[in-house]
Amino acid sequence: MKTPSVLIKYFRRKRNQGIATVYVALLLVALLAFVGLAIDLGYMYLTKTQLQNAADSAALAGASILISSGAITNLSDQRITDAKNEAINFALQNKAAGDNIVILSDGTNTLSDTNDVTVGFWDGSNYTPNTTPVNALKARPRRTENSPGGKVAIFFGEVIGISEMAASADAVAALPLRAGIYIALCINTCSGCTATPCLFPDGKQYETGPIEPYDYKFAWTTLLENPTAANKLEKLMCKDTPMQNVCGKDIWATMGGPTSTLRDMESAFYNINLDASNKEFTIIDEIKVVTGWNVIVPITEHCPPGAEGSAYDPKRVSHYAKLHISAICATGAASGCWGTPPNIKDACKDGVLPAKNCCENFSNNVIVIDSIQCVSCTDESIFSGTKPSIVE
């Protein structure tokens, strides 16, 4: 038979074991709650990322519709409806928390429970909805109480009394003025071409080289990159078109003579896939042919627009110019890095194409322009650019 002291020790040990079991159970519950919370937060972070990706793609897609020629100064313009529909369609191609993303549009330009997309004006720093000229679009995909998909159901939140969480994202895409190809013009080119465009119905040829006058000369430029090798410009030309903010900055430019770089630019002009939203096309013998290219180029403060000869030299940019290029006429090898230009000589000979599209009407190694309009760096928000980008 156990003595009283032994019995006391026995029951005390049992009691301590029971308390330890309770502590372990409580710690396990807390640990599981923390693990569940971490999983739910991670899931919501993923959902938020998915919504942000949808916001970016929807805003960019919608803003790309606003590129169409002519400023949008009326909020009832059909392009606004088209832009919103494009944003909605692109959002729908994305998923958040396993469901397709539906953004709402009720025709207004104010975010609300029934509207997730607006258009407005981006002035280079801020976006103002419901304001003209329209050059920007905002998209707001969401999973909230009032959204089509509702809040996001979470896995372990019930432990602390939460079964759903809300998430949303937004993005503004605008059309900022940015240099779009690797050439520059000089300030003399802008004379009389600021308030309204200067039009050249039959095309005006621009060439390079160190010989005056410079009014209709262009310089090759690497934009903000300092060329370290002779083929630097050609390597840049054979990438996608740039979107470089150079207004008020120094650019590296040269008045060097025609090289294979012009052939690369010629092949870029006629490539139907490169910067396609800013090109115009016609069909010749069942072949799609480029007949126009809208681009933005920097204007340097002085003439010539680049260093004379083959040297590069920084030049200050004071303006941007919107150009409509109708032809690029290069000699030498038949192809450049963007492919072989189509043979349109017969179409030109037969009058199928207008004179401004036909190199037979111009000198060799020139860029043919039929429209140009300039804007100073201080007024650049007046124009819309040629490519959308996320600005907010």
Would strands 250-254 and 279-284 be described as parallel, antiparallel, or unpaired? Answer: unpaired
183-186 vs 164-165, strand pairing mode? unpaired
User: Does the N-terminal peptide bond of residue 133 adopt cis geometry, omega within 30 degrees of 0?
Assistant: yes
> Cβ distance 284 to 357 under 8 Å?
no
pLDDT at 66: 86
Is residue 268 within 8 A of residue 182, CB to CB? The reply is: no
Separation between Cα atoms, residue 243 and residue 236, nearest integer Å:
12
Query: Where would I find the beta strands (DSSP E) of 276-362?
Result: 279-284, 287-300, 313-329
H runs (alpha helix) in the chain: 4-65, 78-92, 232-237, 260-270, 345-349
Three-class secondary structure of residue 254 per DSSP: strand
Question: Cβ(182)–Cβ(218) under 8 Å?
Answer: no
Whole-number pLDDT of residue 3: 59
Give me the phi and psi of 264, to 5 degrees please.
-65, -40
What is the identity of the amino acid at 266? E
Q: Name the packing angle between helices 4-65 and 78-92 (round to 10°).
A: 150
Distance spanning both ends of the chain, measured CA to CA: 83
Three-state DSSP at 138 gives strand
Q: List all residues 6 or more positions away from 7 whose beta carbon is below 8 Å from its beta carbon.
A: none
- Between CA 142 and CA 85 the distance in angstroms is 17
Name the pairing type of β-strands 117-122 and 136-139: antiparallel
Q: Phi then psi for 50, rounded to 5 degrees?
A: -65, -40
- pLDDT at residue 332, as a whole number: 74
Per-residue model confidence as pLDDT tens for the chain (392 residues): 555 665 455 555 555 555 556 555 556 555 555 565 677 778 888 999 999 999 999 999 999 888 765 678 888 889 999 999 999 999 999 998 888 999 999 999 999 999 999 999 988 789 999 988 888 999 999 999 998 889 888 776 666 667 788 999 999 999 888 999 999 999 999 999 998 999 999 999 999 887 888 889 999 999 988 877 667 888 888 888 888 999 999 999 988 876 788 999 999 999 999 999 899 999 998 899 999 999 999 999 988 998 877 778 889 999 999 999 999 999 876 678 899 899 899 999 999 999 999 999 999 999 999 999 999 988 877 778 888 889 98
Rg for the chain (alpha carbons), in Å? Answer: 31
